[in-house]
Amino acid sequence: MTSPVPLRLALVVAGGVIGSAARLGLGLALPAPGGSGLGAVPWATLIANVVGAFLIGVLAARLPSSSGVRILLGTGVLGGFTTYSAFAVGSVTLWHAQPWLAAAYAIGSLVLGLGAAALGLDLARPRSSHTQAHG
């Protein structure tokens, strides 16, 4: 019988491959940051992090943390799809060219990510029949 640790590790690895490939695809589909103004913003990273935060919120509201599906999708797929390191590098790179835009990008990313996670948790949280009838 397979122990839980190797199985969980395999789920994270498999999910991470999928999530990382999806993030690369998003990065290839959107123009690379360059130039000035909003064209300098790393949009693919922002989109990946906000969408990923929302979906992780949904998973956290719906699945127990020990669930194999949550480990595969949350830690694996969405962990590979979202990226703090690209956010940090993108912010610093943008800072050298346009400090005010970099500050707006960094603060906006945090606010949007937190808001997306909260929205995902709220929308996916099971409602009691009493709350649905009276709320």
Tokens 């690209």 belong to 86
DSSP 8-state assignment for residue 63: S
**Is 79 annotated as ligand-binding?**
yes
Q: Which residues contact 39 (CB under 8 A, 6 or more apart)?
A: 31, 33
According to the annotation, is 82 in a ligand binding site? yes
* Dist CA 87 CA 64 (whole Å): 28
Exposed, middle or buried, 74 (CB in 10 Å: 0-12/13-18/19+)? buried
The annotated binding site for Na(+) is made up of: 79, 82
The annotated binding site is made up of: 79, 82
